[in-house]
Chains A and B, each alone.
Chain A
Amino acid sequence: MISIQRRSGSSLRWNVVCFSAAILCAFLSSAALLALSGGDAVKGFSALFTGAFGSQNALFGSLAKATPLLLVGLGTVIAFRAKIWNIGQEGQVLAGAMMAYWASLMVGSLPYWVALTVIALAGLLGGGILGLLAGYLKTRFGTNEVISTVMLNYIVIFFLAYLLDGGPWMETGVTVAYHQSPPVNPSLEWPDLFARGAGKLHIGFLFALAASAFCAILIDRTSLGYDIRAFGSNPTALRFRGTNVRRLLLVVMLLSGALAGLAGAGELFGTAHRLRAETLLGIGSSGIVVAMVGGLRPSGVMLAALFFGALKSGAIYMRLQSGTPAGLVSAMEGLVLLFFLCAVVATKFQIVRSNVHA
């Protein structure tokens, strides 16, 4: 007699089983997708793996791709743990990059490390302000944050398009206009921790690691983290018990947006070196996926960011090697998310073999 029951606690062994199964399913269905799109699954996956982990260069490349995902994911965790559905990470990444770029135009005369700090802070500020704006709309007018954050994404995207397409930040004096800014002042680029050929890892990686520790401590060990978790579980009781929940909501949106903004600044000054929408779009939405797959826990998000970073990094190599379509990686990301969400549900149940009632 076998039956499926809701379980009253959680078991580590069963969690491992569920998530392994999710990875396996995601892997198999991705292989099927690869085969369907006319590729050779074995060759494709081996190229993917080589591109992600095959060499020291590849490994650092994966970490570089993981960096912005980790930052965005952490920002998402802060908001989602409070059940505040900030899904404006795309816009917040862009806003961070834009604010940082703007700051970089003005700090040329400062000492290097001061300038670097100012630029990073500007990134935090840009994303933070955008998050704060959505928070303000919610506390002041009751606007649903899901809608406001998505709408703000569009505003930011079009504002950037204006700036880069005939606006003040457009690169001039080139024969073909690329909807991009001129390169940032090379003396303001973020330093690399590692650089060999295509494998580069900039200092933003350290920022992301620091942010992970910050978030882990914040959520589990501080009064603010207590408020965040309590707000997610029962905002009414929190309000009745002396917490200014409006202010809390603003703080959460500020922090959440700021981390996404820092990701944008890092991408701009660490890898892309010029402001250009294409290099930044997609980071926000992948970061949300990373947060979900990471179970809204900083440690989980670190693993998930590494996984998706490797996927993105390996995918470039896979495309070069086996000519698979670019959209495939997004589809694989989606499949991983899907199976992980299934696994999360599965962990809440147990399979019971018993002979009671007999």
Chain B
Amino acid sequence: MENLLSVQNLTKRFGPVTANDGVNLEVRKGEIHCLFGENGAGKSTLSSCLYGYYRADSGVIRFKGEVAELNSPADALRLGIGMVHQHFVLVSNFTVLENIIVGSAGTGLFLTKSDARRKISELCESCGLSIDLDREIWELSVGEQQWVEILKALYFGAELLILDEPTAVLTPQQSDQLFRILDGMRMRGLSIILISHKLREVMQSDRVTILRKGRAIATVETSETTAEAITALMVGHKVSKHVRDRSVEPAGEVLAVDRACAIGEWGEDILKDVSFNIGRHEILGLAGVAGNGQKELFETLMGVRALSSGGFSLEGEAITKPTSREMLDRGIGFVPDDRSLEGLIPEFGAAENLILGWQRAREYCRGPFLDRRKMDALARRKIEEFKVVTASADLPVERLSGGNAQRIILAREFLHSRGLLLANQPTRGLDVAASEFVYEKILEKRAAGFAVLLASEELDDLLRLCDRIAVIFKGRIMGIVRPEETTLLELGMMMAGDAKDVQRTVQ
């Protein structure tokens, strides 16, 4: 097979950080080529160089055998390299059709509409993609919006499509659909560069290039390798999966939630009679499809959302009308699922983010003044302990990769919490090694006597980590089960709300 794209010796530096270090990459015509690597390995940087957003410091990019001068995304698109961003660039009150043809050259919107419609319908058909071109963007699910982005790139003649962690925002079903579409595109001879750190997805590609610390370590045929081998290549050593220590038994009661109810903006039930408790040395898993009330449950426990009835108690003390201040002062650690929105100040560096919530605490202040020396010392310690990759403690965290940003949140929450840790999707968007790092830290807290509420969509992980697993569906707890007494199938049924036969709750 011929190479559609070949990259030789591409290097890209950001100040002192070498994000890509002499990377070589070859992408064949008609293949799904996966870029796999830990957070900060340089995947996004590499793809940004390929579609002209960054200019490489050195190196040669050849597209269809010719040296490509990529000075802007427009250059790349003209050659046939398209990019689907994680954050979609769509006009929400335009229709699908309008969004796709907006920005197409020359002729007015109306002249081209019927031509465009025909062309797009053909594209849809050939990729096995069905979408109503006249619906407006705001009516579409996230998955469908992503299709629009893909269609847009194809409409502009992309022969190589780059997708940077496309499934991070999708449900499992939506990502299955996405892969069917990508398969259809591969059949048509299009090439796809897929950035992912989910092994399940990587294994569906044709070839994988593994990046580690900015270098392309190896390119392998997926069919000739295993998930374990790829993971080992990625981190440079074997990853051991952590499990909870069964010799430590949960005891007592740290958090008890009693028939908590919350009502949404439209009067709908968001939480309905939620009851559970967590003891010392215990991890209670919270399983459920995203959007079934997990977020709201965490928010009420953190005092940023009011309950309509019911309540909860901490260490036996009933909490009435909590505020986030009070909950932090009571020593609750909170890892929010949307870290950039709820957990970090994007323009602040690691040092300032590490004291977010504690900017008036005596440890970091002298009177009304921040104690920069103590903050810097803390930042140095935590950056090392949590292996945060950042150019400096003051580099805005919006410039860090997701995994590194998450490490800053974890460092902060583990430092300031005493007794209860609330972690909502703490490994979302993280690679295998980074996830294990998070789990290792959470297990350390369990060993230290913490009660932990851990929500995750990774059921395998919940099964090996948790003492008990609560399943939430439409704001109700469908049951609480022990991992050794349940199966993936049973959990899956409860997550889908089908709990008639299985409803039970263990203490």
Residue positions of A touching B, CB distance < 8 A: 3, 5, 8-9, 217, 221-224, 226-227, 229-230, 232-234, 236-244, 352, 354, 356-358
Contacts and interface: CB of A to CB of B under 8 A. Distances in A.
B56 A357 contact: yes
B22 interface: no
Interface string B336-362: 100011111111100010001101100
Given A3-B55, A240-B304, A230 B345 contact: yes
Report the 10 A-B pairs with minimum CB-CB distance, sorted nearest first.
A241-B357, A242-B325, A233-B347, A242-B328, A226-B359, A230-B345, A242-B324, A223-B359, A223-B360, A8-B14
Given A222-B368, A243-B357, 5 more contacts: A3-B55, A223-B368, A230-B356, A242-B329, A357-B59
Contact of A224 (B15, B325, B356, B368): B368
Contacts of A217: 369
B348 A240 contact: no
Nearest to B61: A357
Given A8-B15, A240-B304, A234 B346 contact: yes
B203 interface: no
Contacts of B56: 356-357
Nearest to B302: A240
B348 A230 contact: yes
21 contacts: A3-B71, A217-B369, A222-B369, A223-B360, A223-B365, A223-B369, A226-B359, A227-B359, A230-B359, A236-B341, A237-B343, A237-B345, A239-B304, A239-B324, A240-B302, A240-B304, A241-B328, A242-B328, A242-B329, A244-B325, A356-B57
Contact of B58 (A5, A226, A229, A356): A356
Contacts of A236: 341-342
Contacts of A243: 324-325, 357
Given A8-B15, A357-B68, A357-B69, A222 B370 contact: yes
Interface string B313-342: 000000000011101110000101000111
B5 to A, nearest CB: 13
B370 A226 contact: yes
Contacts of B71: 3
A20 to B, nearest CB: 25
Contacts of B360: 223
B344 A240 contact: no
A9 B399 CA distance: 11
Contacts of A352: 55
A234 B344 contact: yes
Contacts of B340: 234
A343 B343 CA distance: 33
A87 B357 CA distance: 30
Contacts of A222: 368-370
A237 B342 contact: yes
B70 interface: yes
A223 to B, nearest CB: 5
B345 A242 contact: no
B262 to A, nearest CB: 16
B101 interface: no
A12 to B, nearest CB: 15
A299 B448 CA distance: 49
B60 interface: yes
Contacts of A239: 304, 324
A213 B352 CA distance: 22
B232 interface: no
B187 interface: no
A27 B399 CA distance: 37
A241 B304 CA distance: 9
Nearest to A232: B347
Contacts of B370: 221-223, 226
Contact of A234 (B15, B59, B304, B341): B341
Given A224-B368, A234-B341, A352-B55, A229 B356 contact: no
B67 interface: yes
B23 to A, nearest CB: 14
B388 to A, nearest CB: 18
Contacts of B365: 223
Contacts of B59: 356-357
Interface in B266-315: 302, 304
Contacts of B68: 357
Contacts of B70: 357
Contacts of A230: 345, 348, 352, 356, 359
A226 B57 CA distance: 36
Contacts of B352: 226, 230
Nearest to B67: A357
A276 B346 CA distance: 46
Given A242-B323, A244-B325, A237 B57 contact: no
A255 to B, nearest CB: 13
A9 B15 contact: yes
Nearest to A354: B55
A352 B323 CA distance: 51
A229 B368 CA distance: 15
Contacts of B344: 234, 237
B55 A240 contact: no
A357 B372 CA distance: 44
A357 to B, nearest CB: 6
A233 B340 CA distance: 11
Q: Which one of A222, A242, A354 has the highest number of Cβ atoms from chain B below 10 Å of its Cβ?
A: A242
Nearest to A233: B347
Contacts of B372: 221
Contacts of A242: 323-325, 327-329, 357
A357 B345 contact: no
A221 B480 CA distance: 48
Contacts of B346: 233-234
A238 B369 contact: no
A354 B323 CA distance: 55
Contacts of A229: 345, 347-348
Nearest to A357: B69
A240 B323 CA distance: 9
Contacts of B343: 237, 240
Nearest to A5: B55
B186 to A, nearest CB: 28
Contacts of A226: 352, 359, 370
A237 B14 contact: no
Nearest to A244: B325
Nearest to A221: B369
A275 B71 CA distance: 60
Nearest to A352: B55
A354 B345 CA distance: 35
Contacts of B399: 8
Interface in B66-84: 67-71
Q: Which one of A8, A223, A240 has the highest number of Cβ atoms from chain B below 10 Å of its Cβ?
A: A240
